[in-house]
Amino acid sequence: MFERALFLTLVLLCCEAQNVGLLSSIANSTRYWMNDITKLPIVQQISKVSGDLLVQSVDVLTKIPLAMARSLDLNDVIFPLFTSDSNVVDLTDQIISEFNSGLDNEDITLNMSNLVTKYGYPIKRHQVTTKDGYILSMYRIPNNGSVVFLMHGVLGSSDDFVVAGPESGLAYLLSNEGYDVWMGNSRGNKHSRQHLVLDPSQSAFWDFSWHEIGYYDLPAMIDYVLQVTKTNKLKYVGHSQGTTSFFVMASQIPEYNSKISLMVALSPVAFMAHVKSPLVKLLAPGTPLLHSMMQSLGVDEVLPDNIASRILRRVLCGVGPLAEIFCSNLIFLFVGFDFGQLNVTNLPVLYGHIPSGASVKQLVHYGQGVVSEDFRQFDYGDSKNLDLYESNVPPSYNLKNIVAPVSLFYSEADWFTDPRDVDKLYKRLGNVIDVYKVPYEQFSHLDFLIAKDFKPLIYSRLRKLLRDV
């Protein structure tokens, strides 16, 4: 137990250190740590399994997390299916060739505006300043129908709604129906790294979690959109943290409920007691410790490529071409994926646009929720809590305040959004008008953006809801 905790502590300690001058010395010490770490039995065990087997066969990728989950007693985790009846070797070759065929796609490097323009849609960038000084970018694909506002998840951006391409990207599908599509970007992501006085190189810039995104960013963006489009209500579609931040806004500033004619929650995240992701379960108990260590190292921003993610990748996935393909994105390690719905050819494009940046505090706030089993404000520790909230324990968000009509989309296999947590949310919300469980067992957290069958599994239901409201 202790060794495992030590290992994770070390991994997280060196995490996200690229924005400080400490980087090279941390890299150096990591080399020494790595020597020690690799002597730990748990690591030896995991890397033996991964090293020996992953290179040879595809389905081992599912066994490694499975072994981890068992050791953590996560009996109910559903792991991605890599193989069906097909021959594993053939399948491996096929995956590699599909991935390689996607590598010269120019969409990998096109930015948001150029990408959308390439597919023949108009796009315009708008900027709005929040009450606390952050300058946020929004993208609009204008049309003459009613306004739909799309809000991305943690480590995501507006790009999330177009990376799947014109066949199944939500922004394109909505635009085809005539909707006036707006896409938000929360503070700190690649499109919203500006502030009136602060700079991303300063710690103070990163002192926010999804609480502030819900409390400041969403109201600023929504008011701006309503003002420009001269309407008084919009339809809101959020994915993951895009739902968390909505619940913060609508419970903390209830007058915003009247500006929302419908809220669609794709993979809603509020209660997290039953989160399935093995990595999250593993890391969550150490949240307070990890957070204070990162603070003392001056690490405020989550960066996609760093020593920690490289170590995690190596330990969890081993080496070999498939590991390179599936484990090269930090996001997949945390949220899992569903091979059956994955467009491998499009994976390079996805990797070119996700992840998009976030603050450490956003992840810490989620980690707190896993431990506390409650949906509540950021926990600063007893004394600061007393100052801020006049209570040792942070206040819970009052979900009964959310009276805007809400529709919940969830799935059985989602590593972040467990049906039991959705049920709890459903019972507390003030006005749920629709609950939809995706009729595809392996559907993953990211499939709500990028599934091959996005149209039949998600969009057909969504379309009806938007039309009928």
Ligand X SMILES: *[C@@H]1O[C@H](CO)[C@@H](O)[C@H](O)[C@H]1NC(C)=O
Asked whether 77 and 66 are in contact (CB, 8 A), the reply is yes
Q: Please provide residue 234's backbone torsions phi and psi, each rounded to the nearest 5 degrees.
A: -135, 165
Are the CB atoms for 180 and 145 separated by under 8 Å? yes
Please state, in angstroms and rounded to a whole number, the distance separating the CA atoms of residues 326 and 322.
6
Scanning residues 298 to 327, which ones bind ligand X (CB under 6 A)?
none
Q: Which of 240, 245, 372, 407 is catalytic?
A: 240
For ligand X, the closer of residues 156 and 367 by Cβ is 156
| Distance (Å) of CA 213 to CA 139, 194, 405 | 17, 14, 21
Known active-site residue 126: no
Residue 117 interacting with ligand X (CB under 6 A): no
Q: Which is nearer to ligand X, 24 or 35 (CB)?
A: 24
Site string for ligand X, 390-409 (x = CB under 6 A): --------------------
Q: Tell which positions 347-366 bind ligand X, by CB under 6 A.
A: 349
Instruction: State the minimum distance, in angstroms, from the CB of residue 457 to ligand X.
Output: 12
Q: Tokens for 340, please give them.
A: 């059956």
Number of residues that bind ligand X (CB under 6 A): 19
At residue 142's C-alpha, the angle toward residues 140 and 146, to 5°, is: 105
Asked if 109 is part of the footprint of ligand X (rule: CB under 6 A), the reply reads: no
Judged by CB under 6 A, the residue of 3, 5, 28, 117 near ligand X is 28
* C-alpha to C-alpha distance for 162 and 437, rounded to whole angstroms: 24
For the bound state, the minimum distance from the C-beta of residue 173 to ligand X, rounded and expressed in Å, comes to: 11
114 touches ligand X (CB under 6 A): yes
- Give me the least distance between CB of 344 and ligand X, in Å please: 8
Q: How many CB atoms lie under 10 A from the CB of residue 383?
A: 9
- Piece of the chain touching ligand X by CB under 6 A; list 88-96, 324-332, 339-347, 412-420: 339-347
Q: Among this protein's residues, is 240 annotated catalytic?
A: yes
Q: Which residues from 141-200 bind ligand X, rule CB under 6 A?
A: 144, 164-165, 167-168
Name which of 215, 150, 144 is nearest 177 in CA terms. 144
Angle, vertex CA 241, rays to CA 327 and CA 364, nearest 5: 75
Q: Contacting ligand X (CB under 6 A), which of 65, 102, 304, 320?
A: 102
Whether 371 contacts 284, CB under 8 Å: yes
Secondary element (H or E) of residue 415: none
Q: Which stretch binds ligand X (CB under 6 A): 82-90, 195-203, 223-231, 340-348?
A: 340-348
Residue closest to ligand X (Cβ) = 346
- 9 touches ligand X by CB under 6 A: no
Contacting residues for 413 by C-beta, under 8 A, at least 6 apart: 78, 276, 336, 338, 441, 442, 443, 444
Q: Any idea which residues carry the catalytic annotation?
A: 240, 445
Site residues, ligand X (CB under 6 A): 24-25, 28, 102, 105, 111, 113-114, 125, 144, 164-165, 167-168, 343, 345-346, 349, 452
